Amino acid sequence: MAKVLIPTPLRQFTAKQDSVIAPGATVGEVLASLTTQFPDLRKQLFTDEGKVRSFVNVYLNDEDIRYIGKDAAPTADGDTLSLVPSIAGGAR
């Protein structure tokens, strides 16, 4: 099982929890388990095609999953996934 760290903007979809334990042998399986537990989170993390949204960065133990196999990256008990939504905008 992996611990998934939930950023503040997404906690409204996880009953205000800052982390959730989710089973899975890969990042994709952990995220699928997470969104099964919290269905409203799915549209925040995934496109209609089932891909992780481009503005959501996912890290497995501080490694960006884009460089270690994306959603096929293997996970082990005790691993930590961090969800980091990109923030844009600002004032001139």
What does the DSSP assignment read for 17-80? Answer: -SEEEE--SBHHHHHHHHHHHSGGGHHHHB-TTSPBPTTEEEEETTEEGGGTTGGG-B--TT-E
- Hey, what domains does the chain have and what are their CATH numbers? 2-85 (3.10.20.30)
What stretch of H or E contains 4? strand 2-5
Per-position pLDDT tens, the chain of length 92: 999 999 999 999 999 999 999 999 999 999 999 999 999 999 999 999 989 888 899 999 999 999 999 999 999 999 999 999 887 665 66
Rounded Cα distance between 31 and 28, Å, is 5
- Confidence (pLDDT) at 14: 95
- Confidence (pLDDT) at 57: 93
